[in-house]
Amino acid sequence: MAEAILVNGISEILKKIGSLAGREVSLMWGVKGELKKLQKTADMIQKVLQDAERRQRDTDAVKLWLQRLKQAAYDAEDILNEVAYETLRKKIENRFKNKVRNHFKNKLRRFVSASNPLVFRLKMAHRVQGVNQVFDDIAKEKKMLDLNEEHAGADKPILDRGTFSLMDETEVFGREDEKSAVIEMLLDDSSTAREDTISVIAIVGFGGLGKTTLAQLVYNDQEVGKCFTFKEWVCVANDDSSGKTLLGEVFRHICASEPRSLNKNEMGKKLEEKLNQEKLLLVFDDVWSCSQWDDVRVILKHGAHGSKVIVTTRKQEVANDMGAVHSLNLTDLSYDHCWALFKKRAFGRGGPDQTRNLELIGQEIVKKCHGVPLAVKAMGSLMHSKVTFREWKDIETCEYLDVVGDNVLNVLRLSYNHLPSPVKQCFQYCAIFPKDATIMKDDLIQQWMAHGFIQCSNDLEMDKVGNDYFKTLCWHSFFQDMKMDENHDIKSCKMHDLVHDLAQLIMGKELLVL
């Protein structure tokens, strides 16, 4: 499915056209008339953007119109940047000329001749005329598409600050039996052969079922912690395109202070020194292939007898190839536990009243999530922002809601579609991070601000609005694994690999990661 074009970036450029065309660039007398015309056309187009964003899902013609507008807006922005730069250069040049006219007379003459004002105005006039023609055509097509004008004001606030507290990520519904089973496997040393020192326990299931969550519950259990002298969590995420190897990821996590340029033998020796005679508990999270598993297993034999490896994977063959002595196939979450999770999200503080009508619709939504916790959590978060019966009914009957097999992306895409436009753009930007990357909240908000993604009339409030955007993405389960600072504010987070897949899918051809 082709993803929607965001209007937020286009809208910001059109605003820039209006402000610049009315101020500094008006000094460019050879371009002023064309810029005024461009400003008028841009103002007219901006009023229909919200209608176009909604209707593009129903007609390819509107989406094609938005694509053309987006390219024309980028071209116009390039021109305005050049004109604004030339205007600033002229001001500085005149100032410079008045102060040091005699001392730098010859140098100034060479500087001025290098940028001929008449040539520049002629060049800009032709370029602005070309962009104006494109904008005129786009404006005519607007009428043919019957796009309606709306009030072009600021977006509604994303969230009322303090209306809810973020869900505790350690709250898990319905995995008590699985947790007990894995812990029993961990503490049973009889499964470890005498000639070996380490055994593998696999948690297998498709994306969104909660494999990582279950592994975290076991890893952080106090009784488990007492039984092992060395614990380490290694997120591998070595799918076929990542270029990662199991050995390389184990080395990167366990020997973080060592240089990354070591060869395989050198890495092996460093790991042997680090793990020597320790009773190990290692979690290899999100393993897609067993590249170099034999090399890693040889190294892990230097640990003490009874050491364990927990591996989470979507592929049963990975568990088999790693020689798992126990394999837990994670099943769908029960309906009762899904409903409990959904209710806590949807009807929490700041959400709609838990009426009988909304409960009946919510129960149907939960059924369509087919026991996938990530889908239930995402839908519960989405319904928290919906108040009326009609809004709930529209979501329930949406064709994208039903989770077929392991296609949780349908639900995540639906949740994404209901985000405000500027928050969508901020989410898309997160596709640049590698899978399982730790994302620092303050750094991310600064990057959003630098790219102009945050809509705010007061620059002093921009970081607060960015924080609201971040909280919105957390609430909708686009961020997880939140870490807190000493003030109990979120310091960092990660993205579920399915959420990361969604961000890259939406970005499409506009994203290139090397």
> Which tens digits make up the pLDDT trace of 111-123?
444 456 667 767 7
| Confidence check: pLDDT of 155 > 80 | no
Q: Does any domain span residue 76?
A: yes
The pLDDT confidence band at residue 101, using thresholds 50, 70 and 90, is low
**Residue that is last in its domain, among 417, 437, 465:** 417
Three-state secondary-structure class, residue 102: coil
Residue 455: how many other CB atoms lie within 10 Å: 20
Closest CA to 198 of 325, 359, 357: 325
Among 53-62, 98-107, 136-145, 334-343, which is the least confidently predicted range? Answer: 98-107
Residues 503 and 438 placed together within one structural domain of the fold: yes
The pLDDT confidence band at residue 214, using thresholds 50, 70 and 90, is very high
Among 284-288, 320-324, 396-400, 445-449, which is the least confidently predicted range? Answer: 396-400
Structure tokens at 221: 């259990």
Residues 351 and 473 placed together within one structural domain of the fold: no
- Residue 271: the pLDDT is 86
**Residue that is last in its domain, among 297, 329, 361:** 329
Which DSSP symbol is given to 233?
E
Residues 203 and 276 placed together within one structural domain of the fold: yes
pLDDT digits (tens, 9 = 90+) for 483-504: 888 888 899 999 988 899 888 8
More confident residue, 18 or 132: 132
Residues 426 and 292 placed together within one structural domain of the fold: no
Q: Does any domain span residue 466?
A: yes
Name, of 128-137, 226-235, 356-365, the range with top average pLDDT: 356-365
More confident residue, 193 or 199: 199
| Confidence check: pLDDT of 273 > 70 | yes
In angstroms, the CA 42 to CA 106 distance is 44
| Confidence check: pLDDT of 455 > 90 | no
Q: Does any domain span residue 152?
A: no
- Residue 167: the pLDDT is 43
pLDDT digits (tens, 9 = 90+) for 276-303: 888 889 999 988 888 778 888 888 888 8
- Residue 178: the pLDDT is 93
Q: Which residues pair with 284 in a beta bridge?
A: 234, 311
Q: Which residues pair with 307 in a beta bridge?
A: 198
- Residue 162: the pLDDT is 36
Burial class of residue 72 (count of CB atoms within 10 Å of its CB; 0-12, 13-18, 19+): buried
Among 4-13, 278-287, 450-459, 462-471, which is the least confidently predicted range? Answer: 4-13
Averaged pLDDT, 128-149? 82
Q: Does any domain span residue 163?
A: no
- Residue 169: the pLDDT is 52
Q: Does any domain span residue 462?
A: yes
Is the CB of residue 36 less than 8 Å from the CB of residue 29? Answer: no
Which DSSP symbol is given to 208?
T
66: containing domain: 8-144
- Residue 57: the pLDDT is 65
Q: Does any domain span residue 166?
A: no
Among 40-54, 140-154, 403-417, 480-494, which is the least confidently predicted range? Answer: 140-154
The pLDDT confidence band at residue 85, using thresholds 50, 70 and 90, is confident
Residues 376 and 389 placed together within one structural domain of the fold: yes
Burial class of residue 135 (count of CB atoms within 10 Å of its CB; 0-12, 13-18, 19+): buried
| Confidence check: pLDDT of 304 > 70 | yes
In angstroms, the CA 298 to CA 250 distance is 13
- Residue 337: the pLDDT is 94
| Confidence check: pLDDT of 163 > 50 | no
Residues 295 and 346 placed together within one structural domain of the fold: no
Residues 325 and 411 placed together within one structural domain of the fold: no
Q: Does any domain span residue 236?
A: yes
Q: Rounded to the nearest 5°, which phi and psi values hold at 53? A: -65, -40
More confident residue, 266 or 361: 361
Residues 387 and 435 placed together within one structural domain of the fold: no
| Confidence check: pLDDT of 224 > 70 | yes
- Residue 164: the pLDDT is 41
Residues 218 and 108 placed together within one structural domain of the fold: no
pLDDT digits (tens, 9 = 90+) for 332-368: 999 999 999 999 989 988 889 889 999 999 999 999 8
For residue 288, the domain's CATH number is 3.40.50.300
Averaged pLDDT, 55-78? 80
| Confidence check: pLDDT of 16 > 80 | no
Structure tokens at 441: 């909240």
- Residue 153: the pLDDT is 43
Residues 190 and 308 placed together within one structural domain of the fold: yes
Q: Does any domain span residue 214?
A: yes
Residues 199 and 290 placed together within one structural domain of the fold: yes
Query: What is the domain count for the chain?
Result: 4
pLDDT digits (tens, 9 = 90+) for 26-58: 445 556 677 777 777 877 787 777 777 777 766
Rounded to the nearest integer, the mean pLDDT of the chain is 79
| Confidence check: pLDDT of 371 > 50 | yes
More confident residue, 38 or 377: 377
Residues 393 and 443 placed together within one structural domain of the fold: no
For residue 473, the domain's CATH number is 1.10.10
